[in-house]
Copies of this chain bind each other. A is one copy, B any other.
Amino acid sequence: MPAISIEQYVLVYNAFSFTFAIMAAATLFLWLSRSQVAPAYRTALVISGLVTAIAAYHYLRIFDSWGQAYEVRDGVIQVTGLAFNKAYRYVDWLLTVPLLLIELILVMRLSQSETISKATKLGIAAALMIILGYPGEIADDNTTRAIWGTLSTIPFLYIVWELFKGLGAAIERQPESVRGLIKSARLLTFASWGFYPIVYMIPYTNMGGGTVETAVEIGYTIADIIAKVGLGILIFIIAVRKTQIEYGDATTKDAVTH
The interface of chain A, by Cβ under 8 A from chain B, is 10, 13-14, 17-18, 20-22, 24-25, 28-29, 31-36, 38-39, 42-43, 46-47, 49-50, 53-54, 57-58, 61, 72-75, 80-83, 85, 87-88, 91-92, 94-95, 252-258
- Which B residues lie within 8 Å of A73 (CB)? 80-82
Contact between B87 and A14 (Cβ–Cβ < 8 Å)?
yes
Can you offer 17 A-B residue contacts whose CB atoms are under 8 A?
A10-B85, A14-B87, A14-B91, A17-B61, A21-B57, A21-B58, A25-B53, A28-B53, A32-B34, A32-B46, A32-B49, A35-B42, A39-B252, A42-B256, A73-B82, A74-B81, A257-B257
C-alpha spacing A92/B17, complex, angstroms: 10
Majority SS at the chain A contact face: helix
A92–B36 alpha-carbon span in the complex (Å):
27
A57 partner residues in chain B, CB cutoff 8 A: 20-21, 24
**Chain B residues whose CB sits within 8 angstroms of the CB of A61 once the complex forms:** 17
A35 cross-chain contacts in B, Cβ below 8 A: 39, 42
